[in-house]
Amino acid sequence: MKFLKITISELLHVFGMLWLIVEATSFFATDEAADSVKGYWWLFLLVGVVIVIFRLIPKKGFSFKLDGKDITMELVSGDIFKQKGPIVVGSNTTFVTSPDVISERSIQGIFTKKYYTNHQALNDVIQGQTSGDRQEFGTTVTVRANKRTGYFCALADVNENGVAQSNIENIRVSLAELWNYLGSNGEKDVLNVPILGSGFSRVSATREELFQEIVKSFIASTSEHTFCDGLRIVIHPNDIKKNNIDLLELASFLEYSCKYSIVESTSMGQGTAEG
Torsion of CA 47, 5, 55, 15, to 10 degrees: 30
| Same-domain pairing of 11 and 81 | no
Which pLDDT band, with edges at 50, 70 and 90, does 2 fall under? low
44 with 119, same domain: the answer is no
Q: What is the pLDDT of residues 16-40, one digit of tens each?
A: 766 676 677 666 666 666 666 566 6
Same domain? 52 vs 120: no
Domain with 28 in it: 1-56
The pLDDT of residue 106 is 94
Residues 42 and 148 in one domain: no
Whether 134 shows a pLDDT value over 50: the answer reads: yes
Q: Tens of pLDDT along 187-212?
A: 889 999 999 998 878 888 999 999 99
Shared domain check, 253 and 203: yes
Q: Would you say how long the chain is, in residues?
A: 275
* Number of domains present in the structure of the chain: 2
In this structure, what are the phi and psi dihedrals at residue 184, rounded to the nearest 5 degrees?
-110, -20
Residue that is last in its domain, among 56, 79, 97: 56
What band does 6 get if pLDDT is binned at 50, 70 and 90? Answer: low
- Segment holding 92, helix H or strand E: strand 87-92
> Are 68 and 145 part of one and the same domain?
yes
* Structural contact between residues 106 and 119, judged by C-beta atoms closer than 8 angstroms: no
Interhelix angle for 107-115 vs 119-127, to 10°? Answer: 100
Structural Rg of the chain based on CA atoms: 24
pTM beyond cutoff 0.85 = no
**Band of residue 52 on the pLDDT scale cut at 50, 70, 90:** low
- Who contacts 195 (Cβ-Cβ below 8 Å, separation ≥6)? 207, 210, 211, 214, 233, 235, 239
User: Same domain for 113 and 8?
Assistant: no
In contact, 142 and 275? CB cutoff 8 Å:
yes
Measured distance CA(14)–CA(19) in Å, rounded: 9
DSSP tag of 125? H
Please, what sign has the CA dihedral across residues 7, 13, 17, 20? positive
The pLDDT, as a whole number, for residue 268 is 43
